Amino acid sequence: MEENTLLFEAIRLLGELAFVVIIPFAISALRKWTKDSEHKAIYDDIFHALEAGVAEAHEEFVVWRKRTSDDGKLSKEERQEARNKARSYALGVLARVGQQAAESTLEKMSDGEINAIIRQVLLRQSKQAKPAQAGGDESGS
């Protein structure tokens, strides 16, 4: 009889332990997943806004500067100005669509962080342009 009591007591303690350890762990994991999802959504919003900003800066500034340049290239200062224009345009886009969290995050980001995202945008655009150019070459033959 005493063995049964000890067994029931051990099971009860394991149940309490599970309640004290496992449930808070599960809640913590759920909160982390939710926070990570929110951060990803904010990053995606920033990426897409900077993508639009890069396109706008290219149309409004880069093309014109390259045409007026002797060598057809941008100087270091002009590249920085283009990045600043992309950032400003992206902030405007985020403000217009009501993405305050992404707008606030972008405002706080360092130039290095923004430049890294802009490099990703340009790399993505470059990869997307290559198949189109290859397809254009074949159709032009």
Q: pLDDT at residue 88 above 90?
A: yes
| The predicted structure's pLDDT at residue 140 | 44
The answer as to whether 121 is a domain residue is yes
Confidence of residue 139 (pLDDT cuts 50, 70, 90): very low
Instruction: List, for residues 100-120, the tens digit of each pLDDT value.
Output: 999 999 999 988 899 899 989
Domain assignment of residue 73, yes or no: yes
pLDDT band of residue 1 (cuts 50, 70, 90) is: low
Between 88 and 10, the more confident residue is: 88
Count structural domains, the chain: 1
Position 29 in a domain: no
Residue 82 lies in domain: 40-140
DSSP single-letter state for residue 71: S
Residue 53 counted as domain residue? yes
CA atoms within 13 Å, Cβ hemisphere of 106: 29
Sequence length of the chain is: 141
20 assigned to some structural domain: no
Q: How far apart are CA 40 and CA 94, in angstroms?
A: 16
- Is pTM beyond 0.95 here? no
Look at residues 140, 30, 49, 34 and name the one whose alpha carbon lies nearest to residue 100.
49
Q: Answer for the pair 53, 121: CB distance below 8 angstroms, yes or no.
A: no
